[in-house]
Structure 1
Amino acid sequence: MEQSFLAWLRGRQRELPQVDVGIGDDAAVWTPTPGRQTVMATDTIVDGVDFLADQHDAADIGRKSVAINLSDIAAMGAQPTAILVTLSLPSEAATQTAAAVYEGILAICQQYGVAIAGGDLSVYDGPLAISVTILGEVPAGKAWLRRGAEDGDAILVTGAFGGSLLGRHLTFEPRVEAATRLRECLDVHAAMDVSDGLSLDLDRLCAASGVGAEIDTSLIPIHDDAQRLAQQTPETTALQRALGDGEDFELILAVSQADADRLGEINVGVPLTQIGNYTARTGLWMRRSGRLERLSPSGYIHGSHPTRALEPKP
C-alpha cells in the first residue's frame, strides 16, 4: 500500500520552495530563512476523542489535523511553512481512508501555502489517528509567548466562543492571517490559542505571565452555536459554554491598553474584542453588578474525559 499511495500523493502535492527535498526520500531537507527562527508544534487527533470517523467526513477530519497545528503557529505570531503527517490507519479500507483524509489535508495546505514535507503510514487493528508536526518561521526574537502579559494590559480575543461541537471544531479557520496583520499593527505582549476553553486557556496564559485577569462577562463574544446548544441543554447557559466548551481555536492576546484603545482603527479580518484587563492580583475574576467575583476556569482537561468529540466538555 505504502509505495503506491506515496506515488499518488507525490502526484497531488505541489512543490513549494520552502522544502528542498520532500516526499520520497528517507528524510526531508529544509533551509531556514536567515534572520528568522524556526517554530515547531505537533498534535495528534484520535477517533472517538477528537472526531467520530463513522459520523464526520474524512476530508474534514484531515483538515482539522492540520488546522489545529496552524492555530498553534498563529498563536506564536509565526508563518507556517511545512508539515509532516503520520497516519495510523484501521486495517479495513486503509487505502481509501488515507486518500479521503488526505483530500482535506491537501486542501488546507494549498489554502495556507504549506508544504507536505513527508511523514509516515501504518496500518493496524485500532482507530484512525492522525499526527501532524508543523514547522513555521518568525522574526528572530519576536515569537509570541504565553509569558509577557503585564498588569494593566488589555485582554483581547478574536472571533466568538462556545458551541464548537455543533461542527465548528472541524471547520474553523485558524487565525494565521489575523496574526500576521496583528503583528503589523499592535505590540503583542503575550498570546495563545483557545483549544480547551476560553477561561481555562486564559488562566494558563495568566499563570505563565504571573498575572491575573478581570473579565467583564457581558463583553465576551458568544457564538450563535453556544446559544443553540444552551437551548438544547438548559442546565448550561450560553455564557458557560463560551467560557468552557473549547475547540474554538480563537486567539487570546495581551496588548497595552493604549493599543487596545485603537481597535476601531484596526482591521485584521476577524472581530477583535477587549473582554477585560490583566491584573497584578492572580486568578480569574469576573465583574458582575459592579463587584468582582472569583471565576473558576472550566474546559477540557487532557486525560480526564474519554470522549471529547461526543459530548460537551464538563
Structure 2
Amino acid sequence: MKDEFSFISKITPRHTHQSSLKVAIGDDAAVYSGTDLFDEVICVDTMVEGIHFRKDTLTPYQIGKKALAVNLSDLAAMGAVPHYYLVSIAIPKSWSEEQLEAVYHGMKDLADQFKVDLIGGDTVSIQESLVITVTVIGRVEKNRSLLRSSAEVGDNVFVTGYVGGSAAGLSLLLEKGNEASYFDHEQELIKAHQEPVPQVRAGRIFAQSNERISLNDVSDGLASEANEIAEASQVTLLLYEEKLPLHPAMSANELDQQLDAALYGGEDFQLIGTASKETFPLIQAECKRQGISLHLIGEVIDNQPAVYLKKENEKILLSKKGYNHFSK
C-alpha cells in the first residue's frame, strides 16, 4: 500500500445516500443535519500500542487521556461542542485490569473537563498490542461547521498556541525514558507530548464569529495540515519562518531541529486556519480576551494547491510529510 491518504481516496464513495449528510470523508469530522438549530458532528480515531503510544513514554492514565484528546481536537477543528463518546478497546494479556482502569480514568478526567459523557463501546481480546478506538459526537450551530475548504486568496494564516513541543518532548522520552530526571524546560516539552490540550474553546470562538474561516487541527505537523487546507481550498499558503510560534522550551535546540519538530513532528493538537484580513484581528482579540494565543503565521497568495515557507529571501516548498501509517 502506497500510503493511507491514497487508500482513503480510493475507498471514498462517489455518491452518498442520505440527504442530511453535509460533510463526509475529507475533513476532520463528518457533519450531518440534526435539529433545526444544530448540525451533528462525529469523528473517530484509533490508537495502537507501539505505533501511537508506548508504555515507556506514556502512563496508562495519559494514554487514555490522549485517546480522547485527539478526538476532541478533531471536533474543535470543526468548531463543534463535544457531547458524547464511545470507546472500543482490544486488550492483550500483557495489560492488567489496574492499567486498563487507569486508561479509562484518564479519559473520564478529560471528559469531565469538557462535560462529555461516555455512552457505550466494545471490549474484546487481542493477541499482542492494546488498541483503543474512540468515537466522539458533538454539535455545531446550523451551517457553521468550519471546513478545510473555506480558505481564499488574501486570507491571513493563523495558528493557536505553540508548535513543535510535542515532537521535541517525544524525542526526549525516546532518548531517556519516562523515569529519567529532566530540567524544567524539558518537562514542559514532555508535558506537551503526554498531555495535549484540545483547543475546543478556540474552535468555538471561530464558529461563533459567523465569519468565513477554514480550520484544521495540528495532528501530523504544520506542513501536513497546511497542505490539507491548500488541497481542500485549491489555494497556496505562504508561511513565514520568523512568525512560527515555536515552543519556547525548544530554544536550546538548533533552529533546524525546532522547525522540523513544528513542521513535521505533529501531535501539538493546536488549530491552524485562515481568515480574511478583516476577520483575523477580531478573532485574535476574542482569543486574547479568553486567554488563548492566536498567531499570524502567513497568508494565502494564489489559487494553486501548495504550501511554501518563506525563509529570509527564499521560498521553500513544504511537502505533505506528516505521519503516514503505510509509508516504508
* Residue of structure 1 aligned with 2:68, choices 60, 66, 69: 66
Question: What residue is the counterpart of 1:110 in the other structure?
Answer: 112
Provide the secondary structure at the position in 2 that maps to 1:60.
Answer: helix
* Residue of structure 2 aligned with 1:244, choices 244, 264, 278: 264
What do residues 255-308 of structure 1 show as CA deviations (whole Å, max 9, x unaligned)? 101122446633243210111111224211222334534333432123226xxx
The amino acid across from 1:172 in the alignment is P
What do residues 94-144 of structure 1 show as CA deviations (whole Å, max 9, x unaligned)? 422321111101101101000000111112321111100110101121111
Alpha-carbon deviation of 1:93? 4.6
Is contact 1:159–1:271 with CA below 8 Å preserved after alignment?
A: yes
- Distance across 2 between alignment mates of 1:281 and 1:181: 27
The structure-2 alpha-carbon separation of the partners of 1:265 and 1:281, relative to structure 1 and needing over 3 Å to count, comes to same
Whether 1:183 and 2:189 are equivalent positions in the alignment is no
The amino acid across from 2:301 in the alignment is T
Residue pairs, 1:13-162, within 5 angstroms: 34-162=36-164
The amino acid across from 2:325 in the alignment is H
Question: What residue is the counterpart of 1:27 in the other structure?
Answer: none
The amino acid across from 1:197 in the alignment is G
The amino acid across from 2:275 in the alignment is V
- Distance across 2 between alignment mates of 1:37 and 1:264: 26
Question: What residue is the counterpart of 1:29 in the other structure?
Answer: none
The structure-2 alpha-carbon separation of the partners of 1:193 and 1:93, relative to structure 1 and needing over 3 Å to count, comes to closer
Unaligned stretches of 5+ in structure 2? 1-33, 170-189
Larger C-alpha radius of gyration, 1 or 2?
1
Whether 1:277 and 2:279 are equivalent positions in the alignment is no
- Distance across 2 between alignment mates of 1:161 and 1:204: 17
In the alignment of these two chains, the number of paired residues is 270
- Distance across 2 between alignment mates of 1:95 and 1:286: 48
Is contact 2:151–2:214 with CA below 8 Å preserved after alignment?
A: yes
* Residue of structure 1 aligned with 2:216, choices 192, 199, 210: 192
After TM superposition, the score normalised by the length of structure 2 is: 0.77
The amino acid across from 2:108 in the alignment is L
The structure-2 alpha-carbon separation of the partners of 1:263 and 1:144, relative to structure 1 and needing over 3 Å to count, comes to closer
Provide the secondary structure at the position in 1 that maps to 2:260.
Answer: helix
Larger displacement relative to structure 2 (145-154 or 95-104): 95-104
Larger displacement relative to structure 2 (239-248 or 178-187): 178-187
The amino acid across from 2:118 in the alignment is I
Whether 1:260 and 2:280 are equivalent positions in the alignment is yes
Is contact 1:216–1:288 with CA below 8 Å preserved after alignment?
A: yes
- Distance across 2 between alignment mates of 1:221 and 1:290: 20
- Same amino acid, percent of matched pairs: 32
After TM superposition, the score normalised by the length of structure 1 is: 0.80
Alpha-carbon deviation of 1:170? 2.5
- Distance across 2 between alignment mates of 1:206 and 1:98: 40
Is contact 1:178–1:269 with CA below 8 Å preserved after alignment?
A: no
Alpha-carbon deviation of 1:40? 0.5
Unaligned stretches of 5+ in structure 1? 1-31, 306-314
Q: In angstroms, what is the RMSD of aligned CA positions?
A: 2.0
- Distance across 1 between alignment mates of 2:126 and 2:241: 47
